[in-house]
């Protein structure tokens, strides 16, 4: 068998297995077998770059290029649906439809209203061409690379009978389980949580780095097929057919023939939806026949042939007992409402976030108030209102935002233009210090896995830790004998501390916990400034020339290094032997051939991967940037560079160079 034959065979088989697993939830092979075959395909594609195909199953893993999104006009506008919360209005919709169709028989298709972010997928000759967000309804962002990471979306269709060109629309969703895990991770890193899976899905879809998108495990249900030459003259049947081409179509669609059946569907799903793995916020009722849809037509904003019935968000009324305040590692203060326990959407709620001072004042909260808590899709319940009628003569104390840090008593500050309060005592406030040490040892930072938050607390209280650099001074004698620390535990702690000394520079930078310096920014900084001293000396102007670093991040970096305490910590970390500079080999190969030039990478490459080109650009002093502008120096173009990019490049007169030309350029001085 030739390599090409094996590649084709693997692609077909993996597309099929992908469909079985992600669409039908009926895996035929183990994850391990799947991964092994995928690896084989990846290797074959690497060895035979002439066969690289943008729709290969290997392209679902995402890539690391950062790029701003192109926009694209929708061929058919993406309308919204008219909404109602009342069954009476559903009846009116039914009567209106009946009247407009002049007594003709009609079927209604009832389906779940998925609560994610909508997407329009275009297919040509059975292949995914692009994926565009709703945007303003007439044009949206092209997010194809990110959408390709969603395994339930077919890149290549199977079966037969699909039109040569069509669009299919649906909802991109983050399943509850993924959402919960993501927020737990965010909480551990003290990052802002996503309020609900909808925000998480749309936020994820707009990420610049599709390998992060791939890790987020989004899902998609498709609910609307559009185009000429569709297989059937009705919506439901078209979707059933689309399922045979590989699309994930909800199994819970149902054809109804009268209003009673519609109401039965609504009442069933108002309860049953709580068991679904994804968020829904209502049901959609659509006239099934396409000719009848056309006869009913559209208003400026929505089709007259469909209506959305939205479920009431679940609410409960309970007593506010106290407001307490939490201090994060950055000093941000979060007010928390402590409530009488109340049952809401299947869980017992005792606490709700109050976000900030403005929210508290807006509600005019008093202790003892009866408040409404709502969860509607949100994981953290929020207080939406106060029951003023329940207030009696002994109105409790008005809730006033605290003025001093609850942990260290320092007066709080509120920066202009920000809603949050901060405790500015970052070097003396125990909660902030412990928070920073816990961040430092995090798996994604220094990965000191022998230690956990409780042990950090213990060591801090024993006076052994004052800042992260004290970790490297810990001895076995100091630890053994402390609560729950035996010989073996102490050895493990010391071993993982020792191992952390080889953690690369970028992760050390992330571990320092500089405000706004997350993992991605830390990586950019580490390659732009080869040593921590260089970074510490950088000016605002120098910092903002780095890709993705804006004034806000730059200022935060300057403020960090302006503090003597931070420089002391860094000095101690250097003495302990941490990696505070980039790897020697990488530096040795550096040149400044492309010094400071902005280079865009576009298309499919034969000789190296995109990531490798990106590295080469950076190694030679250039910057890999996303969007083409008049400042772009070169476009490094592979095959199939997007037509929009090509046009823009020509218009701006940006030079396009091939792989070979680029390699020659960096190899010859
Ligand atoms: S049909 C022209 N069906 O709801 C009608 N929409 O408010 C096209 N949605 O933007 C939409 N589930 O994001 C349709 N089963 C479903 C849906 C659904 C969720 C969303 C969609 C749309 C919004 C309309």
564 — pLDDT class (breaks 50, 70, 90):
very high
Contact 179, 194 (CB under 8 A): yes
| Residue ranges, CATH 1.10.150.20, the chain | 430-502, 505-587
27 versus 494: the higher-pLDDT residue is 494
CATH architecture of 82-310: 2-Layer Sandwich (3.30)
Place of tokens 């076995």: 476
- Give tens-digit pLDDT for 583-620: 877 667 778 888 878 898 888 888 888 878 887 888 88
Distance from the CA of 148 to the center of ligand 1, in angstroms?
21
- Give tens-digit pLDDT for 475-525: 999 999 998 899 999 999 999 999 999 999 999 999 999 988 988 789 889
- CATH class of domain segment(s) 313-423: mainly beta
The verdict on domain 3-61 having CATH code 2.30.30.40 is no
68 versus 568: the higher-pLDDT residue is 568
User: What is the pLDDT, as a whole number, of residue 669?
Assistant: 41
Whole-angstrom CA distances from 256 to 290, 417, 628 are: 16, 52, 51
Provide the b/e sequence for 208-229 (b: ≥16 CB within 10 Å).
bbbebbbebbbbbbbbbbebee
Atom of ligand 1 nearest to the CA of 112: 15
Distance from chain centroid for Cα 404: 35
- Which residue among the candidates 113, 148, 241, 434 is catalytic per the annotation? 113
9 — pLDDT class (breaks 50, 70, 90):
very high
- Give tens-digit pLDDT for 179-213: 988 888 877 666 777 878 888 999 899 888 888 88
Among 76, 117, 118, 138, say which to mutate for ligand 1: greatest number of ligand atoms within 8 Å of CB.
118
Distance from the CA of 82 to the center of ligand 1, in angstroms?
10
Query: Can you name the CATH fold of 505-587?
Result: DNA polymerase; domain 1 (1.10.150)
550 — pLDDT class (breaks 50, 70, 90):
confident
Contact 597, 623 (CB under 8 A): yes
CA-closest residue to ligand 1 atom 16? 113
CA-CA-CA-CA dihedral for 436, 442, 445, 447, to nearest 10 = 130
CA-closest residue to ligand 1 atom 2? 79
CA-closest residue to ligand 1 atom 9? 113
CA-CA-CA-CA dihedral for 171, 174, 175, 179, to nearest 10 = -160
The residue-averaged pLDDT of 262-281 equals 92
CA pair distance 21, 31, nearest whole angstrom: 10
Distance from the CA of 20 to the center of ligand 1, in angstroms?
26
pTM metric for this prediction: 0.57
| Residue ranges, CATH 3.40.50.10190, the chain | 598-665
User: What is the pLDDT, as a whole number, of residue 66?
Assistant: 41
- Give tens-digit pLDDT for 426-462: 889 999 999 999 999 998 899 998 898 899 999 999 9
**Token couple for 579:** 């990696």
Phi-psi region at 101: left, alpha or beta (left = phi > 0; alpha = psi -120 to 50): alpha
Which of 358, 337, 364, 361 lies closest to 414, judged by CA?
Answer: 358
User: Is 113 a known active-site residue?
Assistant: yes
Q: Which residues contact 393 (CB under 8 A, 6 or more apart)?
A: none
CATH architecture of 430-502: Orthogonal Bundle (1.10)
Give the pocket of ligand 1 (CB within 6 Å). 79-81, 111, 113-114, 118, 134, 171, 223-224, 284, 303, 306, 308
Mean pLDDT, the chain, rounded, equals: 89
Is the pLDDT reported for residue 71 higher than 70? yes
| Residue ranges, CATH 2.40.50.140, the chain | 313-423
User: What is the pLDDT, as a whole number, of residue 174?
Assistant: 95
| Residue ranges, CATH 1.10.287.610, the chain | 3-61
Place of tokens 């500089």: 514
CA pair distance 264, 98, nearest whole angstrom: 20
- Residue range 598-665, CATH number: 3.40.50.10190
Contact 111, 252 (CB under 8 A): yes
Classify 564 as helix, strand or coil: helix
| Residue ranges, CATH 3.30.470.30, the chain | 82-310
CA pair distance 366, 379, nearest whole angstrom: 25
């Amino acid at each position: 068998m030739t390599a090409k034959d094996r590649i084709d065979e693997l692609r077909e088989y993996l597309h099929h297995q992908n469909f079985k697993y992600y669409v039908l939830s009926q895996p035929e092979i183990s994850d391990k077998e799947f991964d092994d075959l995928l690896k084989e395909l990846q290797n074959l594609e690497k060895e035979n770059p002439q066969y690289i195909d943008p729709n290969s199953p290997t392209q679902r893993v995402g890539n690391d290029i950062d790029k701003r999104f192109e926009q694209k006009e929708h061929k058919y506008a993406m309308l919204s649906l008219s909404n109602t919360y009342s069954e009476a209005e559903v009846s009116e919709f039914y009567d209106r439809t009946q009247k407009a169709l002049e007594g003709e028989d009609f079927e209604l298709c009832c389906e779940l209203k998925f609560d994610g972010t909508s997407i329009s997928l275009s297919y040509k000759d059975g292949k995914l061409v692009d994926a565009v967000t709703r945007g303003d309804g007439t044009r949206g962002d092209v997010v194809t690379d990110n959408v390709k990471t969603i395994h339930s979306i077919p890149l290549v269709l199977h079966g037969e009978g699909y039109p040569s060109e069509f669009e299919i629309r649906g909802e991109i969703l983050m399943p509850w389980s993924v959402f919960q895990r993501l927020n737990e991770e965010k909480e551990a890193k003290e990052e802002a949580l996503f309020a609900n899976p909808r925000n998480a899905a749309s936020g994820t879809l707009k990420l610049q780095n599709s390998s992060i998108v791939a890790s987020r495990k989004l899902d998609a249900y498709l609910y609307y097929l559009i185009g000429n030459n569709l297989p059937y003259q009705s919506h439901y049947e078209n979707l059933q057919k689309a399922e045979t081409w590989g699309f994930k179509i909800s199994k819970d669609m149902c054809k109804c023939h009268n209003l009673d059946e519609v109401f039965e569907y609504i009442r069933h799903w108002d309860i049953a939806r709580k068991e679904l793995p994804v968020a829904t916020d209502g049901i959609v009722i659509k006239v099934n026949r396409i000719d009848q849809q056309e006869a009913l037509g559209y208003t400026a904003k929505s089709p007259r042939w469909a209506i959305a019935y939205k479920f009431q968000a679940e609410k409960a009324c309970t007593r506010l007992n106290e407001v307490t305040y939490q201090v994060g590692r950055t000093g941000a203060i979060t007010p928390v409402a402590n409530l009488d326990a109340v049952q809401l959407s299947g869980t017992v709620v005792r606490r709700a976030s109050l976000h900030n001072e403005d929210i508290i004042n807006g509600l005019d909260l008093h202790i003892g108030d009866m408040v409404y808590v709502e969860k509607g899709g949100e994981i953290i319940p929020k207080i939406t209102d106060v029951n003023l009628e329940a207030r009696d003569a002994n109105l409790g104390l008005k809730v006033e935002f605290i003025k001093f840090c609850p942990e260290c008593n320092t007066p709080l500050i509120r920066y202009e233009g920000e809603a949050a309060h901060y405790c500015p005592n970052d070097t003396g406030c125990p909660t902030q210090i412990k928070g920073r040490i816990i961040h430092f040892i995090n798996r994604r930072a220094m990965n000191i896995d022998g230690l956990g938050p409780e042990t950090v607390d213990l060591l801090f209280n024993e006076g052994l830790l004052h800042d992260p650099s004290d970790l490297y001074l810990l001895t076995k004698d100091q630890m053994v004998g402390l609560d729950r620390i035996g010989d073996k535990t102490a050895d493990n702690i010391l071993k993982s501390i020792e191992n952390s000394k080889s953690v690369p520079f970028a992760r050390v930078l992330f571990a320092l916990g500089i405000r706004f310096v997350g993992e991605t920014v830390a990586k950019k900084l580490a390659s732009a400034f080869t040593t921590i001293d260089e970074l510490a000396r950088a000016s605002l102007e120098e910092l903002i020339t780095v890709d993705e670093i804006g004034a806000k991040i730059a200022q935060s970096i300057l403020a960090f290094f302006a503090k003597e305490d931070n420089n002391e910590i860094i000095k101690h970390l250097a003495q302990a032997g941490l990696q505070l500079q980039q790897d020697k080999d990488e530096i040795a190969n550096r040149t400044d051939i492309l010094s400071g030039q902005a280079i865009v990478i576009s298309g499919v490459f034969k000789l190296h991967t995109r990531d490798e080109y990106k590295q080469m650009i950076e190694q030679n002093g250039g910057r890999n940037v996303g969007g083409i502008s008049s400042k772009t120096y070169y476009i490094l173009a592979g095959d199939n560079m997007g037509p929009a990019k090509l046009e823009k490049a020509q218009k701006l007169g940006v030079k396009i160079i091939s792989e070979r030309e680029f390699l020659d350029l960096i190899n010859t001085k």
